Amino acid sequence: MVKLFGTVSTLSDIVILMAMTDLKRIIKSGFINFKRGGSVSVAAVLQVLNTLAVIVVIILLQAVLYSSLNQIKDKVDVTIYFTTNAGEDKIMLLKSSLEKLPEVAQVSYTSADTALKLFRDRHVNDYSTIAALDEIGGNPLGAYLNVKAKEISQYESIANFLQGDDALVSGPTSIVEKVNYHQNKLVINRLNNIISGAQRLGFLLTLYLIISSLIITFNTIRLTIFIAREEIGVMRLVGASKMRVRGPFMVEGVIYGIIATFTILILFWPITAWLGRNMTSFLGLNLYDYYVSNFLQIFAIILLSGILLGVISSFLAVRKYLNK
Amino acid sequence: MIYFNNVSKIYKDAVALDDVTVTITAGEFVSVVGHSGAGKTTLTKMILADDKPSLGTVFFESIDVHKLKNKDLTKLRRRIGVVFQDFKLLPNKTAYENIAFAMEAVGKTDEEIASDVPHVLELVDLSHRIFHFPNQLSGGEQQRLAIARAIINQPELIIADEPTGNLDPINTHEIVQILKKINDLGTTVILATHNRGVIDSIGKRVITMENGKIVRDSKHTK
């Protein structure tokens, strides 16, 4: 029994050893083929590089798009103006019930005194307004709540909530002077449409660029393998297994991906640095800071895309000639 | 060893093999002769299962070669060495690597490859060309390299399809002598050629083909 197990272990050792030897030979052949491929290898690397460049540009464009959209979204809010005799306890009650709404991102309270101070500061050079204010005496301004929703589309439901809260908002005892949502409704809706349109367009553009780059890269790699189609036939005729024929081409695909990844990531370092120095105010985002702080994620996406692109293209392209 | 049973191969507009029945026994040296298009190459392709017959069956020993699955076909091809008119060497590999590749395909170790490759290159008189690429070798040298690759795994059968078609008379003579030597050592050889002179110099069994048919099959002695 012991001897039997001993034999099995020796056999499995031999199988593992053979598989390791095969793997070593496949990897070595891949490197040698890449080196001897010369201009064909360079062309394939350049094509993978183009596709990866498109992916990096898309990542950066998405960052710019989302940062711009966020900035626009940040400028949109709903303000609830209270009557001058509204009690602070009632306002705070409304504030806390607003904060409980899932759509609400933030509610900020400005007291009547602060509102007056802000008004005076804003009109410090407007002599007639300040004089009119002094003439009235006291504080004609009420407190207000500034509400920010998580998404632009959610302002309507917040406005509906305020309308539904009868005790506070409507009737003779209403403490609410006005809610500016209805005045801004048209602008907010239009902005909402523009933002969702921009996101949809961005997605379609991304999809188009990625698909077209993938097809071009696949065809370039297919062309490099087309050149070696007779070689593939000869390898099969001398008894090489499918994996032994296909393996080196896939290793070459991995090499294309790795070289293209490192080249593209190095190239984008100075490019984003230049964009960060000269285009930050135009783009609304410092692309260099974005590139550096997200470098590991971008590196992982690009490396994975590069390797998968090379390996899958090679795998599919060789299959055509292996089955002949 | 090899048995063709009523094999026909019909392409769209031509009949390449027409009801061929023939047996080749182990250790034979068989020359298949005929004009271009007579069906010689199709006959050899059938043994390698490089092409499928339209009708009939081809046996290698007791195996119907066209019923083999991919994996088993690979194993069968390892038992056969092939030499082509256009050499079919791997252009991006040196003479050494071309032979090493055939050894790797059958799972030989690095040590076996390192010891056997120089030996077989010496046998075909190419020791001085070991690190040359095929395009750096003459036609005769390329064919000797192809023969070295074909015999390196000590196959049971060598198929040589017009191996001298691209060679001058001196190189042709050399290649024929090498094939005869291989046969003398016990390997079955099938040589397809249109060159009568080559067959005459061998003096063994000759199968004559015309329009896909075997028209004559005889022991040919001078």
* Model pLDDT, residue B220: 42
* Model pLDDT, residue A166: 53
Tokens linked to B26: 């182990």
Chain segment B59-93, per-residue pLDDT in tens: 999 899 999 988 888 888 889 998 988 888 998 89
* Model pLDDT, residue A4: 47
Partner B contacted by A244 (CB < 8 A):
yes
Tokens linked to B220: 């040919």
Q: How far apart are CA B182 and CA B154, in angstroms?
A: 10
CB A81 within 8 A of CB A163: no
Find which of B84, B89, B104, B120 to mutate to test the A interface (most A CBs within 10 Å of its CB): B104
* Model pLDDT, residue A181: 75
* Model pLDDT, residue B222: 40
Of A166, A164, A178, nearest in space to A82 by CA:
A178
| Position A324 pLDDT exceeds 60 | no
Average per-residue pLDDT in chain B?
A: 89
Of A286, A231, A220, nearest in space to A46 by CA:
A220
* Model pLDDT, residue A323: 67
Chain-centroid distance, C-alpha B129 = 23
∠ CA A57-A58-A62, rounded to 5°: 120
- Of the candidate ranges A249-258, A264-273, A313-322, the one whose mean pLDDT is the lowest: A313-322
Half-sphere exposure of B179 (CA within 13 A, CB side): 34
Chain segment A6-27, per-residue pLDDT in tens: 455 677 777 787 788 888 999 9
**Within the 21-60 window of chain A, which residues sit less than 8 Å (CB to CB) from chain B?**
21, 25, 32-33, 36-37
Q: Where are the domains of chain B?
A: 2-219
Q: What is the largest CA-CA distance in chain B?
A: 51
Cβ of B89 and A234 within 8 Å?
A: yes
In this prediction, residue A321 has a pLDDT band, given cuts at 50, 70 and 90, of confident
| Position A33 pLDDT exceeds 50 | yes
Which of A36, A235, A239 shows the shortest C-beta gap to B78? Answer: A239
CB B148 within 8 A of CB B82: no
Question: In order of start, what are the domains of chain A with their CATH numbers?
Answer: 29-71+203-322 (no CATH), 84-174 (3.30.70.3040)
Chain A residues whose CB is inside 8 A of the B105 CB are 235, 238-241, 244
Which of A231, A235, A236 shows the shortest C-beta gap to B91? Answer: A231
**CATH topology assigned to domain B2-219:** Rossmann fold (3.40.50)
Q: What is the ipTM of this complex?
A: 0.73
Tokens linked to A188: 């907010």
Instruction: State the distance between the two ends of chain A, measured CA to CA, in whole angstroms.
Output: 47
Instruction: State the distance between the two ends of chain B, measured CA to CA, in whole angstroms.
Output: 26
Chain A residue nearest residue B97, CA to CA: A29
H or E element: which one contains B114?
helix B110-123
Looking at CA atoms only, how far is residue A314 from chain B in angstroms?
Answer: 18
Q: How far apart are CA B10 and CA A265, in angstroms?
A: 57
Average per-residue pLDDT in chain A?
A: 83
Phi, psi of A302 (to 5 degrees): -70, -45
Partner A contacted by B215 (CB < 8 A):
no
| Cβ atoms < 10 Å from Cβ of A236 | 24
Looking at CA atoms only, how far is residue A237 from chain B in angstroms?
Answer: 7
In this prediction, residue A194 has a pLDDT band, given cuts at 50, 70 and 90, of confident
Chain segment A156-191, per-residue pLDDT in tens: 788 777 776 654 554 556 778 777 776 677 777 787
Chain segment A286-295, per-residue pLDDT in tens: 889 999 999 9
Tokens linked to B31: 């020359």
Chain segment A50-103, per-residue pLDDT in tens: 889 988 988 888 888 888 777 777 777 888 888 888 788 888 888 888 888 888
Q: Is A169 helix (H, G, I), strand (E, B) or coil?
A: helix
Question: b or e along A47-80 (b: 16 or more beta carbons within 10 Å of the residue's beta carbon)?
Answer: bbbbbbbbbbebbbbebbbebebeeebeebbbbb
* Model pLDDT, residue B219: 54
CB B70 within 8 A of CB A242: yes
∠ CA B50-B55-B61, rounded to 5°: 60
| Position B9 pLDDT exceeds 70 | yes
Of A255, A287, A224, nearest in space to A67 by CA:
A287
Chain A residues whose CB is inside 8 A of the B109 CB are 21
H or E element: which one contains B210?
strand B205-210
In terms of Cβ atoms closer than 10 Å to its own Cβ (0-12, 13-18, 19+), residue A117 is: middle
CB B52 within 8 A of CB B8: no
Mean pLDDT for the stretch of residues A236-248: 85
DSSP string computed for B5-56: EEEEEE-SS-EEEEEEEEEE-TT-EEEEE--TTSSHHHHHHHHTTSS--SEE
* Model pLDDT, residue A1: 42
Looking at CA atoms only, how far is residue B214 from chain A in angstroms?
Answer: 26
Find which of A23, A40, A238 to mutate to test the B interface (most B CBs within 10 Å of its CB): A238
Cβ of B109 and A21 within 8 Å?
A: yes
